[in-house]
Amino acid sequence: MTWEMVIGLETHVELSTKTKIFCSCTTEFGGEPNTHCCPVCTGMPGSLPVLNRAVTEYAARAGLALGGAIQNRSIMSRKHYVYPDLPKAYQVSQYDLPLCVGGGITLSNGRRIDLTRIHIEEDAGKLVHVGREVLIDYNRGGVPLIEIVTEPDFRSADEVTEYMERLQTALRAIGVSDCRMQEGSMRCDVNISLRQVGAEKYGIRAEVKNLNSFTSVAAAIAYEFERQAEILEAGGTVVQETRSFDADTGITAPLRDKENADDYRYFPEPDIVPVLLTDELIDALRVALPEMPDAKLARYVAELGVAEADAKLLTKYSAVSRYFEAASEGVSPRTVASFMVSTMFAQVTTEAEREKWNPSVTAAMLRELIELIESGKVSRNVAKRVYSQMAEEGRAATAFLSAEDMEQFDDAKLTELCRAAVEGNPKSVADYLKGKDKALKAIVGAVMRETKGRADALETERIIKDIISESSVESV
């Protein structure tokens, strides 16, 4: 039989407020175990929670950015479960009256992933397994979360990955979360079932909990597809359950029976008044939203002429976008984008560094370097070398350029050098004519060595191709 997977996601995102959802403890990542907690966030008897206003506003901004409808009135609820990461035996969350309903994200294939709801809740503590012992760190307990729940609209792991990337980029752009999966500030639960292609009824689903990387999400989905398909092919029935995923083995394993809403015994949280958001506040939050990444990407491509692949990287991080736009004033945005992606990104490689994006080369300094490239005073190769010196010492390009660096090659001189390189490398020419494109690099390299890297490599390659083409036509 041919099986179709049906997937829904529950994504938990830690909000970037300075303090926790119901107390004044810091939300800073790390710290010695059990030093960022108090009687409120550990649920000690007699302590009373007070809802952090910033949490509701951050959550509302997320809902608006994703096209959801913000409710004027929502209610906090108690979600009961007995597990050591929550010492009070319940989690304060939302159930029947969430902060936001609806919304969605459209994928590159045109399919829309609809959101069911976005609600706010507190995070739980962290269990640390050391041999046969289990240690508990409550620093994370009480950190504010939004849970973003989708409809079962995904049909492949690729769709899930793209959705998560777009979600991550959008939430970073509006400043509500850093979405660092490696630090646990963005995690997801995957609900997956199988049905025969063409069937309308959903199969029995399994939920894989706490996946904290795109790689783990894709691997867990792939394993669950094979596991469930094997059960169904043998005439068995998939068990509705919650499963864990081992990133080392790529295998999911039973964790517990899948709970339903009745198992959690939801009821309104008596210690917290309803959350009330006025239309005026919701409108103000909507107006304050920045340009969203998808709109910015479209503008960069259509209006600024930036290559789409470069635009996708530049719009992934807000700080990078701001730097790019500042550096592009008065020069070619396409040249700036190309230089940033090919040269700067090669030196700023981690997600955390790109998120902060605070290079020693200021936007004004980069703009000056791009002006030198566009005027023909320096080649791209020289510019790359000079940029490395600029980044190391934090000084302008002119501090590292010699008269020889700025020696210009007129068309006649460059053509003469290219012709000599073609004549001096007959084997490479023959290989290129046989379809070996890499052979052309050897001829370009000869010109670059002769000019000590001052010639423009792209222009050099174009001229060499023209010379070889002319020679081959003449020989015929």
pLDDT tens for each residue of the chain, 476 residues long: 699 999 999 999 999 999 999 999 999 998 999 999 999 999 999 999 999 999 999 999 999 999 999 999 999 999 998 888 988 999 999 999 999 999 999 999 999 999 999 999 999 999 888 888 999 999 999 999 999 999 999 999 999 999 999 999 999 999 999 999 988 899 999 999 999 998 999 999 999 998 999 999 999 999 999 999 999 999 999 999 999 999 999 999 998 776 666 778 999 999 999 999 999 999 999 999 999 999 999 999 999 999 999 999 999 999 999 999 999 999 999 999 999 999 999 989 888 888 889 999 999 999 999 998 888 777 787 888 889 999 989 888 888 876 566 655 666 777 888 899 898 898 988 888 888 888 888 888 888 887 777 777 777 888 888 888 877 655 54
Instruction: Report the 10 Å Cβ neighbour count for 185.
Output: 23
The rounded distance, in Å, linking the Cα atoms of 313 and 318 is 11
| Domain assignment of residue 55, yes or no | yes
Q: Sign (positive/negative) of CA torsion 83, 88, 91, 95?
A: positive
Q: Is residue 343 domain-shared with residue 456, that is, in the same domain?
A: no
Shared domain for 373 and 450, answered yes or no, is: no
Encoding tokens for residue 422? 């073609």
Shared domain for 72 and 102, answered yes or no, is: yes
Same domain for 280 and 295, yes or no, is no
**95 lies in which domain range?**
12-194+258-284
Same domain, 88 and 170: yes
Q: Do 390 and 400 meet the contact criterion of CB atoms below 8 Å apart?
A: yes
Q: Does residue 223 lie within any of the structural domains?
A: no
Strand 206-211 relative to strand 241-246: parallel, antiparallel, unpaired? parallel
- Backbone CA torsion sign across 353, 357, 362, 363: positive
Do 296 and 277 belong together in one domain? no
Helix or strand holding residue 130 (H, E): strand 126-130
Q: What are φ and ψ of residue 206, in 5° steps?
A: -120, 145
> How many domains, in total, are found in the chain?
3
Q: Which of 232, 250, 284 is the last residue of a domain?
A: 284
The residues that bridge with 7 in the sheet, in sequence order, are 154, 192
For residues 91 and 59, is the Cβ–Cβ distance under 8 A? no
Residue 441, in any domain of the structure: yes
